[in-house]
Amino acid sequence: MPEPTQGNALTTPDFWGDEFWKLNRDAVPELEIDPDHREFSWLHRFLQQHLPRRPDARLLELGCHPGRYLWYFHTYFGYEVEGVEYVAPAAELTHQALKAHDIEVPIHAADLFDFQPDSDELFDVVCSFGVVEHFADVEPVIRRHGELARPGGLVVIAIPNHAGVNGTVLKWIQPEVYAVHNHMSFRDLKDAIDANAELDYVAGGYLGHFSLAPSNLCPHLRQRLPWKVYALFERIYNGCVRVAHYLPNSRWFSPNAVVVARRRSHDTR
């Protein structure tokens, strides 16, 4: 029996409901992702390298609001996509946003542990982007990803890298947001994959040379600084990002960590 989310989560349904309405206020989100954008190209190349390019492949995203990744996988991989979203209004808005792009797909308003597809409807790819780090113990969440993948299917898990500079900045400017994250490193994430008897690690690591996006620093300053001061900061920051392109991916500066694992086709190791 799957564990209820509330028993292990660092957040509550009310937290996500409050955050959703504060950020969205009924606005249908823009979904299109530029795969060559500096904040996304690293992930795009990684996914192209490790995921199948079959138009009949079925993908499930856990925690799918606002729908950008579903749009991306449908557009660039040709997948049949579905999503599970914890907050019911967010699930509905995600459905509307995808429909506005002529993508009519199921968006299930459900706790990821309660969502129960038929056994013959498991997925070729099960993914999440920024979900597992909101749990104190990530192993049940990772196990749930694997349970929803077909035997031989893939699990993709990406998290913000709060084990480096982004975590330090976030703790400084928004300690209340820092508190609802598990500040795991890539090694912690990989160890959790290796501890799962049904999953085999395929690939992973820190991705992105440098970005402060997971720290929320830019939107934090945008709301607090005079616009001329913020514009100067933004120019300096963008210059740093361009220079940092020459840095290696690392625990200290990379914005994200990601793993790909394969669900075993049999029960033996």
Supply the pLDDT for residue 76: 95
Nearest residue to 265 (alpha-carbon basis) of 153, 138, 177: 153
Q: Which residues pair with 135 in a beta bridge?
A: 9
Where do the domains of the chain lie, and which CATH numbers do they carry?
5-263 (3.40.50.150)
- Across 23-163, the runs of DSSP E, i.e. the strands, are 58-62, 80-85, 107-109, 123-129, 149-160
Structure confidence at residue 247 as a pLDDT band (50, 70, 90)? confident
- CA 259-262-41 angle, 5° bins: 35
Report the mean per-residue pLDDT for the chain.
88
- CA 212-234-238 angle, 5° bins: 65
Contact 72, 36 (CB under 8 A): no
Write down the pTM of the prediction. 0.90
Query: How far is 98 from 77, CA to CA, in rounded Å?
Result: 16
Supply the pLDDT for residue 268: 45
Nearest residue to 150 (alpha-carbon basis) of 198, 197, 96: 198
Is residue 4 over pLDDT 50? no
Supply the pLDDT for residue 267: 52
Q: How much is the average pLDDT of 40-54?
A: 93
Contact 70, 78 (CB under 8 A): no
Q: How much is the average pLDDT of 185-197?
A: 95
Higher pLDDT, 70 or 25: 70
Pairing status of strand 58-62 against strand 107-109? unpaired
Query: How far is 163 from 34, CA to CA, in rounded Å?
Result: 27
Contact 173, 216 (CB under 8 A): yes
Is residue 27 over pLDDT 80? no
Is residue 106 over pLDDT 70? yes
Tokens representing residue 69 in the block = 């990744």
